[in-house]
Amino acid sequence: MHRSLSMNIQSRFLSHQMQTLVATRVVTDPCDVFINHRCLDTKTTLAAPIYDHLHRHGFHPFLDSKTMKPGDKLFDKINTAIVECKVGLAVISPRYCESYFCLHELALLMECRKKVIPIFVDIKPSQLRVINNTKWSLEDQRRFKLAIEEAKYTVGLTFSSSKGDFSGIVTSASDIIIESLIVLEDEEVQMQHSYLPIS
């Protein structure tokens, strides 16, 4: 009896250690793509379906509502994901420029020189404007305006929610992201080979 209780406790302890190790591994894996979006506008219609599509294909996308856990520090988790990601997807909707978080994430993606693929949803790039919000520092406003200007002049996808095919845009965006990840991976491998010593 004593031996089986001891074995049971040991087994549970080892199981807990393995679960902790697996959980730590999952949490520390850098994401392949950071999905930047305005929650109220596009989370359920575009951001979450793109996340799910990429996840089903074996990629590690970052979407705040699916990746973050209670107790996570917003800026720590988001900033780390942006710095470590390979590609950014910016789902830009009409009220996107009103969100501090959206603009902060976009600015950081641009500052980190990540490849950013914009989807302009119900808005033309020329219509994008950063509002003057007195709650935001002048430095943040400057960063946000630079990021929006860069996004305006980045080739992206356009989508009209009133007459568009949601599954079509999800597939198109996912295919472009996957193709971009493959190209980046190939470039990384080529760079590694170019630095190998010649025997």
Here the CATH number for the domain that contains residue 111 is 3.40.50.10140
24 secondary structure, DSSP code: H
Percent of the chain with pLDDT over 70: 83
150 is annotated as an active-site residue:
no
Whether 10 is in a domain gets the answer no
- Residue 172: pLDDT above 80? yes
- The count of structural domains within the chain is 1
Residue 9's pLDDT is 45
Which of 84, 98, 105, 188 is the catalytic position? 105
> pLDDT tens across 135-165, in order?
999 999 999 999 999 999 999 999 999 988 8
Closest CA to 50 of 159, 128, 123: 159
Sign, Cα dihedral of 182, 166, 103, 150: positive
Whether 19 is in a domain gets the answer no
Whether 17 is in a domain gets the answer no
Calculate mean pLDDT across residues 79-94.
Answer: 97
- Residue 182: pLDDT above 80? yes
Whether 21 is in a domain gets the answer no
pTM of the model: 0.81
123: domain range? 31-194
Whether 81 is in a domain gets the answer yes
Whether 14 is in a domain gets the answer no
Q: Which residues contact 151 (CB under 8 A, 6 or more apart)?
A: 90, 92, 106, 110, 116, 118, 125, 128
Distance CA 112, CA 15 (A): 39
Whether 8 is in a domain gets the answer no
Whole-number CA gyration radius for the chain: 21
Whether 38 is in a domain gets the answer yes
Closest CA to 65 of 95, 18, 101: 101
- Residue 13: pLDDT above 50? no
